[in-house]
Amino acid sequence: MDIFQAISDPTRRAILTLIAIQALTPNALAENFDMTRQAVSKHIKVLLECELVKPEQSGREIYYHLNAKKMQEFDNWLAQFRQNWEIQFNQLDELLLTM
């Protein structure tokens, strides 16, 4: 699965948002959703495969962290489009002002 498929799911986006704030265990993540821990674990597995999250063992628990480096790669890819959008929006603003 690629990064776009991974982030296309709203639950996985919510998981990324939660662990961007602080590292969480699968149990702690599951408490935020109306689904089983196993279902949450499947979502985590997809995020792991895409390297969007990284695990850290702490005693018997595994905490999942956001992989900021991978997110930066994605943001860099989006930046090329963002610049084009800004140019087009600015042109639209200018057109609307002349009307």
CATH of the domain at 43: 1.10.10.10
pLDDT in tens, 31-61: 999 999 999 999 999 999 999 999 999 999 9
Which stretch of 6-20, 31-45, 68-82 has the lowest confidence by average pLDDT?
68-82
Contact criterion met (CB below 8 Å) for 70 and 52: yes
Q: What gap in Å lies between CA 67 and CA 98, rounded to an integer?
A: 46
Residue range 81-97: mean pLDDT, rounded? 82
Could you tell me the pLDDT band of residue 81, with boundaries at 50, 70 and 90? confident
pLDDT at position 89: 80
Give the global pTM.
0.77
- In the block, tokens 């821990």 appear at 37
Residue range 75-96: mean pLDDT, rounded? 83
Residue range 8-36: mean pLDDT, rounded? 95
In the predicted structure, residue 1 carries a pLDDT above the cut 80: no
Number of independent structural domains in the chain: 1
Per this entry, what is the length of the chain? 99
CA dihedral (52, 58, 59, 60) in degrees, to 10, reads -20
Q: The domain containing residue 55 runs over which residues? A: 3-98
Of the CA atoms within 13 Å of residue 36, those in its CB half-sphere come to 3
